[in-house]
Structure 1
Amino acid sequence: MTDRTQYLLKLVERNVKAYIANPKTKAVMITGSVAEGLCDEYSDCDVMLYYDELPSFEELHLARQQNQGSELIEILGDRSEGAFGETFFFNGVECQFAHATIAQWEKEISAVLEEFDVQSPVMKGMSGTLVGIPLYGETLIDQWKAKVANYPDGLAQKMVEHYLKFFPIWGIQSKLTKRDTTLWYYQILVESAQNLLGVLSGLNHLYYSTFQFKRMSRFIEQMEIAPENLASRLEALFRHQASVAVNELEALVRETVELVEIHMQRVDTKEARRRLGERRQPWRLDELDQ
């Protein structure tokens, strides 16, 4: 554990005492870069707090006052929906505290594990749960860890099917060079890279969300099923000339489709495969018949 990680962990442990003192609090967990031991001088503190009944804004204000009057930056979300976020600074460090009722959190977990809601940003929270460090209510948190660790095959298949969609930019690259398409070009690259990661997350039973996605290389290291040198090749897409990048993207898509056909044969890959090799030809200016 680095010095920065140790510092932030101690800071959080001291900070959450005011929240744990509230009898409504049933569990507290730190996640994110602190839990993973990846802190630097820009890292914030991501903390999840769970309750039978959410604390009032007055109770949260009191907790901040007990923490040297920590400066509130914003409140995110709708408290009436059973969960909201609180952002404040403590000793110059940004702290992001997510407050949720146990009922709401378990409902959100079920939406992913049972209803296969692959677009839910809760995916990020579930991944964070697996690496999270309990600070209070360890028994309850361990139950959630065990539940989240049981990644269902149905969710894996839904992930692959949802993300197995790629716009064949490799077929219109000559067309793009004739137009002012810089923003669209990079949008396609970003969406394609996100979709590749989504497909491979399903194949590898990993929780994945495009929401504030960070530390791509570390995420890819968890994959047993992936194209060779995936992280460096994805990064290179945004550095190559367009003529090179689109062909490399096509190669990555082809390799990923092949992996789906090997490891998840029940998924229909015909449409994705049909678009591989696609090249749009310009029409010619011919003399029209009179």
Structure 2
Amino acid sequence: MKFARLGPAGYEQPAVIVKDADGVDQYFSVAALTEDIDGGFLASGGISRARKALESGELPAISAKGLRLGAPVARPGSLVCIGMNYAAHAAESGSAPPQIPVVFLKPSNTVAGPFDAAPIPPSSEKYDWEVELGIVVGKEASYLSSVADAVECIAGYLVANDLSEREYQISGAAGQWTKGKSLPSSTPLGPWLVPADEVDGGALRLRSWVNDEPRQDSNTADLIFDAATLVHHVSQYMLLEPGDIILTGTPEGVALSGRFPYIQPGDVVELEIEGLGRQRQEFYRAAAEGSAPAASVSVGAGKDL
């Protein structure tokens, strides 16, 4: 079972997706259970309630043809990010693997749909892709006493692209990570939220491509700090609330390595995590006096949804 939000930006409707006997995705509305896939839904046992309603035939089937796929979780309260959480990526960034998690925040207004057209900032020359496993928090977490307790706070997982402007992020004596990580539509999420009990977040292949050329190819088994460890660690320093998302870091193979060019207008970036789906963004140069309206791709037009 997978959770999705379908419809125009700001007007998405909640749905679940399951495969039929022929392996074809079937969509069902969960609007009778919740107005949205958000923190309130997750905290109130929404995943379990939706599963039971689906099994009992209470959820109406819907057609997703022509509908935009939005981010599978409504705008989170906090978007927490982990830096250099793969040893090889730390090395290509010129850093030693961290001894403790490197934590920073992105504004939640950077969240975009997985197939929305993606703006490159007007003055950007070093816009970079980062495929990442996203953890969706399902329970309030504060000062958790153990990693085992943290496992119970994970509602599910999703695909994320932590788009980063490296010149804004790294140049200068101290660097400016917030500037490089806060740009509009720089966090495409989805296409789905997959419940934690239906996928092993610690053993998933994750890959990225630019214009069909391979870039990243790794596995979440190579994370320095796994999902539960990250939830436990972050809870010692901030209150995690249902619906918050933690991005767990990206593996090697980004443009920052010097092996590949940075994203240019017209480029197509695709990201995939095994069992969690695939994203696709086509990039354009944002106008200096305001971005062009975000385009979208319908459910039927994306690759391997």
Q: TM-score range by the shorter chain?
A: under 0.3
Larger proportion of strand: 2
TM-score of the superposed pair, with normalisation by structure 1? 0.20
Larger proportion of helix: 1
Which of structures 1 and 2 has the larger relative contact order (alpha carbons within 8 angstroms, sep 6+)? Answer: 2
If you compute each CA radius of gyration, which structure gives the higher value, 1 or 2? 1
